[in-house]
């Protein structure tokens, strides 16, 4: 038997033997030279030498597998994957800064150079420089946190002008900041590569989503389209609407404008002016996700063995479930019974209580057993302290 019978490439891909198989192959070749009765147990010098040779051959075979796999985005890793995805016109995202859309109000013609806004936690956000206030007296710009990483700013908290400028009157953020990300992992980059292949396809909306998804800082994109002559839901006739988390608003607007079809309107609460090739300004509208705080009240019978620690497990399980829904997903009350019962997390702890009812509310509305309907641009979120357990 030749080593090529163990390591080879066929229609199903590359094949490589494990180390014990390689070791046995080396020993068989040795016996073919020196005889079948040669002593090759683990305590013999010959066996130990053959083990070194086998390990070297095994490592070389594994390197061949790694090289073979490096040519596909689905199996390449690290630097090889970074190089592969360039063929799709994308790159691995480096660590990013948090970004927030700021509404700047001031006197027409004011030029803000190196402007800085500040939130209620004294975190500073750099405006694009220069920022020119238009005739309307108001402009939306995307500011960047001065510190890299997950810098948070809730809606309505970036309200201070840290660098006073004559003509700059006020600043505010209507939406939460898009949180900065660490370096893009291999799994995330593969997902981005998969989405990017939609850019040149025949569906215009998929192409727009793919193009926006590849922009620096964009973490998630959702889209809807109304190609009828009537209002569909809240969408005007012949319009598209994107919900974009992260990224620079101007880049997003420019990408939507260049990819959308002629005569297609855009719908959303964020309005950014893009300029076409002839210098004509065009207003592009899209949504930023609006976080919706969710509160849950769980009424249960405490049975033998129930503790406060189990109650904390219930709260965290429900919290994780809601936060993983993603924007546009309604909170279905009956679905909350599964994470609340802990059956997939703590089978023993799940036997120590009996849930009677689960009620929910959003914002300051009253608790109800009805589902919480979430608009496609809304993002349901909660924290463990918003989950209340009532023991009866």
Convert the pLDDT of each residue in 292-326 to its tens digit: 999 999 999 999 999 999 999 999 999 999 999 98
What's the mean pLDDT in 192-202?
63
Distances, alpha carbon 147 to alpha carbons 101, 204, 243, in Å: 17, 37, 26
Which conformational region is residue 233 in: left (phi greater than 0), alpha (psi within -120 to 50 degrees), or beta? left
Beta carbons within 10 angstroms of residue 155's beta carbon: 16
Return the pLDDT at 196. Answer: 67
Residue 195 has pLDDT above 70, yes or no: no
- pLDDT one-digit tens code per residue, 2-37: 887 888 888 888 889 999 999 999 999 999 999 999
Residue 107 has pLDDT above 80, yes or no: yes
Mean pLDDT of the chain: 89
Q: What distance in Å separates the CA atoms of residue 261 and residue 245, rounded to the nearest whole number?
A: 23
Pick from 241, 232, 316, 247: nearest CA to 93: 247
pLDDT band at 180 (very low <50, low <70, confident <90, very high): confident
Q: What distance in Å separates the CA atoms of residue 154 and residue 328, rounded to the nearest whole number?
A: 19
Instruction: For residue 21, give the 3-state DSSP assignment.
Output: helix
Return the pLDDT at 200. Answer: 57
Residue 50 has pLDDT above 60, yes or no: yes
Return the pLDDT at 387. Answer: 96
pLDDT band at 212 (very low <50, low <70, confident <90, very high): very high
Q: What distance in Å separates the CA atoms of residue 340 and residue 321, rounded to the nearest whole number?
A: 9
Beta carbons within 10 angstroms of residue 141's beta carbon: 21
Residue 162 has pLDDT above 80, yes or no: yes
pLDDT band at 346 (very low <50, low <70, confident <90, very high): confident
Q: What distance in Å separates the CA atoms of residue 168 and residue 157, rounded to the nearest whole number?
A: 18
What's the mean pLDDT in 260-279?
87
What is the share, in percent, of the chain residues with pLDDT greater than 70? 95
Would you say 353 and 306 are in contact if contact means Cβ atoms under 8 Å apart?
A: yes
Residue 198 has pLDDT above 70, yes or no: no
What's the mean pLDDT in 102-112?
95
Q: What distance in Å separates the CA atoms of residue 269 and residue 376, rounded to the nearest whole number?
A: 13
Residue 75 has pLDDT above 80, yes or no: no
> Which residues lie closer than 8 Å to 24 by C-beta, 6 or more apart?
none
What's the mean pLDDT in 169-179?
91
Q: What distance in Å separates the CA atoms of residue 260 and residue 64, rounded to the nearest whole number?
A: 44
Structure tokens at 359: 């009620």
What's the mean pLDDT in 230-258?
91
The verdict on pTM exceeding 0.75 is no
Structure tokens at 167: 């003509």
Backbone angles phi and psi of 312, in degrees to 5:
-65, -35
pLDDT band at 88 (very low <50, low <70, confident <90, very high): low
Show the DSSP H helices in 232-360 as ranges.
249-259, 308-323, 337-340
Strand partners, 244: 221
Least confident residue range of 36-40, 233-237, 251-255, 275-279 = 275-279
Distances, alpha carbon 77 to alpha carbons 58, 73, 219, 225, 242, in Å: 20, 8, 21, 36, 31
Which conformational region is residue 381 in: left (phi greater than 0), alpha (psi within -120 to 50 degrees), or beta? beta
Return the pLDDT at 23. Answer: 94
Q: What distance in Å separates the CA atoms of residue 81 and residue 74, rounded to the nearest whole number?
A: 8
């Amino acid at each position: 038997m030749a080593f090529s019978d163990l390591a080879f490439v066929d229609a199903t891909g590359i094949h490589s033997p494990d180390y014990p198989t390689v070791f046995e192959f080396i020993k068989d070749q040795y016996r073919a030279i020196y005889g079948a009765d040669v002593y090759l147990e683990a305590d013999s010098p010959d066996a130990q030498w053959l083990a070194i040779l086998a390990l070297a051959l095994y490592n070389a075979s594994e390197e061949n597998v790694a090289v073979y796999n490096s040519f596909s985005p689905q199996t390449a890793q690290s630097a090889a994957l970074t190089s592969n995805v360039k063929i799709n016109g994308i790159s691995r995202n480096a660590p990013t800064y948090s970004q927030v859309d700021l509404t700047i109000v001031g006197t027409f013609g004011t030029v803000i150079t190196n402007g800085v806004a500040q939130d209620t936690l004294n975190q500073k956000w750099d405006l694009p420089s220069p920022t020119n206030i238009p005739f309307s007296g108001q402009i939306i710009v995307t500011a960047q946190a001065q510190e890299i990483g997950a810098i948070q700013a809730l809606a309505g908290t970036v309200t201070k002008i840290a660098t006073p400028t004559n003509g700059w009157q006020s600043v505010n953020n209507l939406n939460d900041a898009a949180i900065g990300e660490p370096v893009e992992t291999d799994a995330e980059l593969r997902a981005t590569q998969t989405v990017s292949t939609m850019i040149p396809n025949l569906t215009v909306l998929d192409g727009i989503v793919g193009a926006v998804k590849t922009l620096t800082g964009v973490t998630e994109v959702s889209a809807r389209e109304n190609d009828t002559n009537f209002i569909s839901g809240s969408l005007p006739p012949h319009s598209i609407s994107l919900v974009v988390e992260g990224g620079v608003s101007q880049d997003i607007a420019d990408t939507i404008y260049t990819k959308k079809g002629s005569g297609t309107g855009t719908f959303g609460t964020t309005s950014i002016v893009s300029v076409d090739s002839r210098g004509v300004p065009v207003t592009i509208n899209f949504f930023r996700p609006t976080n919706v705080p969710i509160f849950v009240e769980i009424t249960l019978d405490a049975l033998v063995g129930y503790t406060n620690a189990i109650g904390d497990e219930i709260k965290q399980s429900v919290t994780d479930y809601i936060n993983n829904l993603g924007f546009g997903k309604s909170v279905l009350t009956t679905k909350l019974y599964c994470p609340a019962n802990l059956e997939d997390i703590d089978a023993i702890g799940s036997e120590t209580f009996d849930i009677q009812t689960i009620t929910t509310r959003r914002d300051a509305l009253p608790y109800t057993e009805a589902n919480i309907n979430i608009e496609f641009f809304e993002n349901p979120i909660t924290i463990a302290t918003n989950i209340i357990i009532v023991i009866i």
